[in-house]
């Protein structure tokens, strides 16, 4: 059996082993998929041992996505753009680093019926989670993408980094400080889609004020929180204004599906059914 694993710290609550076992069953394959919990400073040692022992591929989650980028011999273009790696695989003794997070988010949104082409999108946060999804979002050619962050400098850095890609897809890309969200006249119109990629979803606070929520959401908006397993304060703000909401569980399953296809071959895509796995997890 080919051996795969997910590495993170903490890792015990990871749903990845279950998800990948389901994909294996659906495509009638037998794989071994385990958990790895490296010490915070020991990702490289764990990954070296894993691949030296014949491991075929690894999913990487918090807090090791930057370590995984360092560890990979070669990065795919989208991993380079994301600045982080969530999927490692070995081919002819070369370890490749890829990133399927953004593709997973985009697929989950599209499956949920959210039109991205021509949409006005607000992305909250300017950390690794935001950077990881910006490329795939821009490639969907929304009309506008606004990055809002507590520290405006970090949002502005992302705008610089992705400026060329935005231009090539004719996207109006802007940054704004979270605190200025309700003030800035040209960004505070309602958004079609608001994505929470801040770490605020983990605690029970929303990154946006109620005043900002009132200008950002209408009943036609869609609010997406990358956190999963609960209705966050951010989602409640959107629900209160009649918007549709989603947590990030679909993104988790869809990024896993992409990783599975990288490892097991694109011809499996007809056989696996991520939405059935998502329903089981719900
Ligand atoms: P990740 O890789 O999960 O994105 P990160 O790189 O540490 O983690 O980034 C965390 C993001 O959440 C940042 O955008 C951070 O804002 P700052 O850059 O201003 O620090 C944001 N964040 C964390 N806690 C927040 C809170 N309580 N309110 C608003 N934004 C928050």
pLDDT of residue 52: 97
Mean pLDDT of all residues in 229-251: 96
In this structure, the residue with its CA closest to atom 2 of ligand 1 is 128
Which of 64, 99, 150, 159 has most ligand 1 atoms within 8 Å of CB, for mutation? 150
- 225 annotated as ligand-binding: no
pLDDT of residue 203: 80
Coil, strand or helix at 206: coil
Contact present, 221 and 191 (Cβ < 8 Å): yes
Rounded to a whole number, what is the distance in angstroms from the first to the last CA of the chain? 29
Closest by CA position to 52, among listed 99, 9, 95:
95
Domains of the chain from N-terminus onward: 2-99+250-281 (3.40.50.10860), 103-247 (3.40.50.720)
* Beta strand spans in 186-260 (E): 193-196, 222-225, 244-246
**What residues contact residue 33 under an 8 Å CB cut-off, 6+ apart?**
3, 4, 5, 6, 16, 17, 20, 21, 24
pLDDT digits (tens, 9 = 90+) for 23-48: 999 999 999 999 999 999 999 999 99
The verdict on the CB of residue 175 being under 6 Å from ligand 1 is no
pLDDT digits (tens, 9 = 90+) for 206-223: 999 999 999 999 999 999
pLDDT of residue 54: 97
pLDDT of residue 188: 62
The verdict on the CB of residue 124 being under 6 Å from ligand 1 is no
Q: Which ipTM value was assigned to this complex?
A: 0.95
Can you tell me the distance from the alpha carbon of 128 to that of 205, in angstroms, rounded to the nearest whole number? 19
Contact present, 164 and 188 (Cβ < 8 Å): no
Give the catalytic positions in this structure.
65
Can you tell me the distance from the alpha carbon of 116 to that of 143, in angstroms, rounded to the nearest whole number? 9
pLDDT digits (tens, 9 = 90+) for 152-193: 999 999 999 999 999 999 999 999 999 888 776 556 678 999
Give the model's confidence band at 266: pLDDT under 50 very low, under 70 low, under 90 confident, else very high: confident
Please identify, by atom number, the ligand 1 atom nearest to the C-alpha of residue 130: 4
Please work out, in degrees rounded to the nearest 5, the angle formed at the alpha carbon of residue 190 by the alpha carbons of 238 and 144.
Answer: 115
Residue 166 Cα distances to 131, 138, 169, 207, angstroms: 13, 6, 5, 25
Beta bridge partners of 194: 122, 223
pLDDT of residue 204: 82
Counting other chains too, the contacts that 229-233 makes at CB distance below 8 Å and 24 or more residues apart are 232/196, 232/201, 232/204, 232/206, 233/204, 233/205, 233/206
Question: Considering the entire predicted model, what is its pTM?
Answer: 0.96
**Residue 126 C-alpha to ligand 1 middle, in angstroms?**
7
Mean pLDDT of the chain: 95
pLDDT of residue 198: 94
- 129 annotated as ligand-binding: yes
Does residue 200 register a pLDDT over 90?
no
pLDDT digits (tens, 9 = 90+) for 85-130: 999 999 999 999 999 999 999 999 999 999 999 999 999 999 999 9
**Residue 257 C-alpha to ligand 1 middle, in angstroms?**
27
pLDDT of residue 185: 58
- 127 annotated as ligand-binding: yes
Least confident range of 60-64, 184-188, 273-277 = 184-188
């Amino acid at each position: 059996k080919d051996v795969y694993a997910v590495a993170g710290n903490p890792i015990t609550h990871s749903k990845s082993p279950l998800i990948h076992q389901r994909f294996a069953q659906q495509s009638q394959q037998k794989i071994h998929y385990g958990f790895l919990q490296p010490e915070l400073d020991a990702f490289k040692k764990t990954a070296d041992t894993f691949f030296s022992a014949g491991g075929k591929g690894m999913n990487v989650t918090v807090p090791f996505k930057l370590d995984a980028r360092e560890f990979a011999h070669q990065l795919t273009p989208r991993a380079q753009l994301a600045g982080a790696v969530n999927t490692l695989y070995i081919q002819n003794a070369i370890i490749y680093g890829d990133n399927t997070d953004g593709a997973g988010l985009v697929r989950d949104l599209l499956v949920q019926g959210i039109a991205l082409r021509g949409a006005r999108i607000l992305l909250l946060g300017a950390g690794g989670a935001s950077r990881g999804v910006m490329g795939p979002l821009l490639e969907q050619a929304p009309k506008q993408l606004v990055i809002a962050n507590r520290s405006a400098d970090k949002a502005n850095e992302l705008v610089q980094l992705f400026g060329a890609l935005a231009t090539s897809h004719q996207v109006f890309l802007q940054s704004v400080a979270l605190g200025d969200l309700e003030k800035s006249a040209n960004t505070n119109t309602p958004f079609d889609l608001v994505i929470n990629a801040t770490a605020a979803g983990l605690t029970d606070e929303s990154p946006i004020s109620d005043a900002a929520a009132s200008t950002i959401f209408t009943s036609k908006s869609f609010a997406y929180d990358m956190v999963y397993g609960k209705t966050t304060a951010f989602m409640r703000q959107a629900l209160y204004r009649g918007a549709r909401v989603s947590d990030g569980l679909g993104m988790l399953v869809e990024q896993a599906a992409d990783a599975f296809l990288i490892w097991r071959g694109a011809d499996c895509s007809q056989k696996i059914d991520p939405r059935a796995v998502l329903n089981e997890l719900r």
